[in-house]
Chain A
Amino acid sequence: MHELSLATGIVETVVKHAEGRRVTSVEMRIGTLRQVVPASLEFYFGICSRDTVCQGATLQQEIIQARVGCRSCGEEWELYEPDFRCRSCADTEVEVIAGTEFEVDSIEVTEESAIDQEEAGCIAPR
């Protein structure tokens, strides 16, 4: 249910970096600990991107598997259930190595600015 708020954040970030150019694709890196539902995020991205330079852009989501490590015994493992105690020594000093990402990794833009294209009446059909 938090995908709407998250999609708004993506659009804001992408618009800032697009600098007026039309965006055709957005690549995200998303950790499993963020509990994001990919289909839901894609749906809300479609809604939030309307009337922005991201309208019609595809959203690619690279899912980063949560990985944790024990500070006590050094054991490292991938986390599939929310159990943050060390699976080897049961210590509670476990740190998250990966899995909290919610990052716009890159965007693909077309060189002509979206505004110029509209003025010239030559927007490519989507």
Chain B
Amino acid sequence: MHRTKVKVAEDALDANTTIAEANRHDFDHAGVRVVNLMSAPGAGKTTLLEAAIPEVDARVGVLEGDVQGSMDADRIAHLHVPVVQLNTDAGFGGECHLDANMVRSALPGFELDDIDLLVIENVGNLVCPAEFRVGEDARAMICSVAEGEDKPLKYPLMFRACELVVVNKIDLLPHLEYDLEKLRHNLESVNPGAEVIECSARTGEGTRAFADWLSTVAAREAAAV
């Protein structure tokens, strides 16, 4: 049997990147900036959005990604902002991340002309979401103090993918043996340029800084596609 070697030299996630670029083109065309918000499950993505969105100086829409259920979208809907729930459980056991194509499938649920900023709340997971661009302008993540200071060293792919790291649940610090200095040190070694916001979505401490950051992203110029 004759065998032939074929040179490919192509990124194996190229198909996703192509769709992410198409999403980006549509967002830019509508003047919408997009934030991809990621974290481990239970770090407080939805609670932080509930606290911050009313303070954002832009018209915000939210795309909720979850394996199953619409609990998060129902909570965001109370803020009277456009929200679409995307469930990933159609696949094999439920996809653990959003990819560009899933985000694309949800876009008809939004009137993009009516929003300035789309926050995509990714599926809770510190690994896969970092691999899949969805057409976002900025990537941010939350790590809560309940997770341990060593997480940047264990998940460098995720921590390096983000320009902002929100340290949430600082109201719990008196109850934990958590060393914020150690976290800052670990972050500094994995992603030295990252911006850091410390907050408690529960008490509201520091959430204004996150709202301000979202406002800043909403005001950014579209990057050349």
Contacts and interface: CB of A to CB of B under 8 A. Distances in A.
Contacts of A108: 3-6
Contacts of A88: none
Contacts of A4: 92
B152 interface: yes
B128 interface: yes
Interface string A89-126: 00010100000001111111111100000000000100
Interface of B: 1-16, 92, 95-97, 99, 127-128, 131-132, 152-153, 156-157, 160, 188-193
A33 interface: yes
A24 B3 contact: yes
A1 B15 contact: no
A6 B12 contact: yes
A111 B4 contact: yes
A46 interface: no
A12 B5 contact: no
A10 B14 CA distance: 10
A109 B156 CA distance: 36
Nearest to B131: A2
A94 to B, nearest CB: 7
Contacts of A82: 152-153, 156, 189-190
Nearest to A34: B157
Contacts of B188: 85, 92
Nearest to A35: B157
A2 B132 CA distance: 11
B193 to A, nearest CB: 7
B189 A85 contact: yes
A1 B6 CA distance: 30
Given A13-B15, A82-B152, A110 B5 contact: no
